[in-house]
Amino acid sequence: MSLEVETKPDPRGLDIPVRLRMDGRSIDVAKLVDEWRGKEHRYFKLTGEDGNLYIVRFDEPAGRWEITLFESPRAALVSKGLT
């Protein structure tokens, strides 16, 4: 799966995700839930306008974005037989 991330500077001047593009789909970021820094990565936990939860990681040395977690409330309900 290919991932592109559109960013904008936050009040501190650091780039934060505002839109994800995956395999032709565009998902606006509804809320930035959390962010943290690893040794060579920046992590962002966010909810998309699609209602899903994402954790994306920016590999600073490589300049590459990756999805490290995807969670869909709808998929969780389907798997439990609630829809």
Q: pLDDT tens digits for 7-65?
A: 999 999 989 999 999 988 999 999 999 999 999 999 999 999 999 999 999 999 999 99
Tell me the whole-structure pTM to 2 decimals.
Answer: 0.85
Q: Is 64 in contact with 3 (CB distance < 8 Å)? A: no
Max distance between CA atoms of the chain, in angstroms, equals: 45
Q: Return the pLDDT at 81.
A: 66
Number of structural domains in the chain = 1
Count of all residues that appear for the chain in the document: 83
Domain range for 52 is 3-79
DSSP letter at 46 equals E
Nearest to 44 by CA among 11, 67, 21: 67
